[in-house]
Each structure stands twice: as structure tokens, then as C-alpha cells.
Amino acid sequence: MIKVRVPATSANLGPGFDSLGIALNIYNEYEFELKESKGLFFEGFEEEFQNEDNIIFMAIKKVFDKYDFKFNGIRIKIIKQDIPISRGLGSSSSCIVAGLIGAFALMNMEINRDEILSLAVDIEGHPDNVCPAIFGGLVSTIMVDNKKPLYNCVEVKDGIKFIALIPRFKLSTEKARAILPKEVLFGDCIYNVGRAALLISCFSNGNYALLKEATKDRIHERFRSKLIDNFDKVYNKSLELGALSCFLSGAGPTLMAIVDNKDISFVGNFTNFMKEQNINWDIKELKIDKHGAKILKGE
């Protein structure tokens, strides 16, 4: 029996569209077990996901097929599901990464995280969510010739915490992708490239006074914000209440605020604001997960 824990992730990270992601301390936990009986056995899943199209099983099968590993049956269980689904916090990436790591563990093979990344990108299509889920922390990543992922982990200076402002409605990645333009203006590319470089330097040396400008984006946020009720109201209020920056997490609809570690009033003040405005969002104070996915000791 194998247990795997995977952290949430916030991808796109301001101007880092499809290239920057960070792991955060919300977790999903999964359990895997090979069975003598033939078939797929699911626990904790809605009925529509209890089949061969289950993304966790697809990840497992990808590894088993690669290594020609034969099995009769497999049990897949969700132990804990704290990462909100379709909210821009990497719920699908957690499934993919858990399935891949679980498959290697079931085969009693060494966990090669670089190989897992390559397999995860084959499934996910881009690395900015799966990469921090695997390695933890802040990760800068690219695709070489649209085939091979390259990554670099960035050490983040202490001094900040992340506040996830999570709507209670889902936003599918497909819908969020569909609203994006087919072409991007040259000036907008320059705008984002400069801020992505500035953002990494802010995280590296702790100059967090620059975050407000460094997390601005012109490639995806202004388009996707149209799909999110109260986006402008929430965004502006977070800055008014002292957030160092605020940006769309992943494809949305979650907004991610960064605040000073010493700020003990932001969450309470923002909670009061949402009650006054009748905005039914959840708010979670988070820290960076520095370890990424890991195998937990089985019972």
C-alpha cells in the first residue's frame, strides 16, 4: 500500500504565464494498492470518475505501459482532498503527479523526479503547475522545442505569506484558455518579460516592495478576469488593505494576494469586507511548500 501527498500550486504567477509556479501548503493525499482481483477499484471518487478515463489512473497506466509492468487490479483512494477543484490551485496536477509517483512506488522503482516531470508534462501539456507540485517551492520552467521541460528552482527569501481568495464557483481550464487571444502585442510581451525577471529577483533577494509592479500581467489576466464576478472589487480591496500584490492564480478563478509575514490584520479585514459586500469567497492563509510531492509511510 502506497500513500502519496501532493501540494497545491499557483501557476502563471503574475507575468510568468506558463513559466512560473509555486507550491503551497494545501494538500491532497492518495492511496494506491495493487490487487489480485482484476479491475479498477475507486474510493472517494464521484461515480463519473470511476473508470479508465480517471486522470490518476491514466498517469499510473502511462508509467506501467512504459515499463511493461503487468498488473491485475488496482485500488485508488482519495484520503484527503483539500485542494479546491477547478479553482486555479493545481488540483488536476496533484492527481497527475500522485499517480505517476504512486506507479513508480508500486513497481518498487526509484522515484526519479526529472522523469516524473517529463511524464507529467506529456499529460498536462505544460510544466508550470506540475513542476512545483513535484519539486516544491518556486520554480521557473520552459519547454525546449515544445518537447522537453527545463526547470530551475528559485530560493525564496522569508518575509511574505500568500493569501488565497477562492471563489465558490469553478472555472474550467478549457474555458479560461478559450478566452485568450490568438496573438499578443509586441509591447505586451516586453511588459511581461521585464516583470517576470523583476519578480524572480524580488523573490530571490527579498525586495518585496516591488511586488505590486512585478506581478502585473498583460497576457492573460485582463481577459480571464471577465469570467470572474467581483474580480475588480476583490483585487482593488486587497491592495487597499495592504497586500503587497494581487494576481490571478493559475487560470483562475482564485486570486492570490501576497502580504507581509507580520501582517496579522489582512485576513480579518478582508473577511469583514466580503461579508459587507455579500461576496461568498473562501480565504486561506498559506505558506510555501518547500518539499513537493512525497510518499507517506503506509499503514
Tens of pLDDT, residue by residue over 201-216, are: 999 999 999 999 999 9
Q: Does 199 appear as a known binding residue?
A: no
Q: Does 159 appear as a known binding residue?
A: no
Please report the pLDDT score of residue 50 as a whole number. 86
Element holding 150 (H helix, E strand):
strand 148-154
- pLDDT tens for 159-199 read 999 999 999 999 988 899 999 999 999 999 999 999 999 99
Counting every residue written for the chain, the total comes to 299
Q: Does 86 appear as a known binding residue?
A: yes
Q: Does 88 appear as a known binding residue?
A: yes
Amino acid at 123: I
The span from the CA of 168 to the CA of 246, in Å, is 18
Residues 6 or more apart whose Cβ sits within 8 Å of residue 165: 234, 238, 254, 255, 256, 257, 270, 281, 282, 283
How does DSSP classify residue 17?
Answer: T
Element holding 77 (H helix, E strand):
strand 73-81
Please state the pTM of the whole predicted model.
Answer: 0.93
Domain spans of the chain, in order of start: 2-154+289-296, 160-286
Cis peptide before 7 (omega within 30 of 0): no
- pLDDT tens for 102-156 read 999 999 998 899 999 999 999 988 899 999 999 999 999 999 987 889 999 999 9
Would the pLDDT of 299 be above 60?
A: no
CATH topology for the 2-154+289-296 domain: Ribosomal Protein S5; domain 2 (3.30.230)
In the chain, pLDDT over 70 holds for what percent of residues?
99
Q: How confident is the model at residue 274 (pLDDT cuts 50, 70, 90)?
A: very high
Report CA torsion sign: 185, 189, 195, 199. positive
Instruction: Evaluate whether 2-154+289-296 and 160-286 have a shared fold.
Output: no
Amino acid at 43: E
> Over the chain, what is the mean pLDDT?
94
Pull the grid cell for residue 299: 499503514
Q: Does 204 appear as a known binding residue?
A: no
Q: Does 92 appear as a known binding residue?
A: yes
Q: Does 87 appear as a known binding residue?
A: yes
Q: Does 21 appear as a known binding residue?
A: no
**Burial of residue 178, with CB atoms counted within 10 A of its CB: 0-12 exposed, 13-18 middle, 19 or more buried:** exposed
The span from the CA of 1 to the CA of 287, in Å, is 30
CATH topology for the 160-286 domain: Alpha-Beta Plaits (3.30.70)
Nearest by Cα to 234 from 166, 154, 133, 152: 166
Amino acid at 222: R
Q: Does 265 appear as a known binding residue?
A: no
Over residues 64-82, mean pLDDT: 94
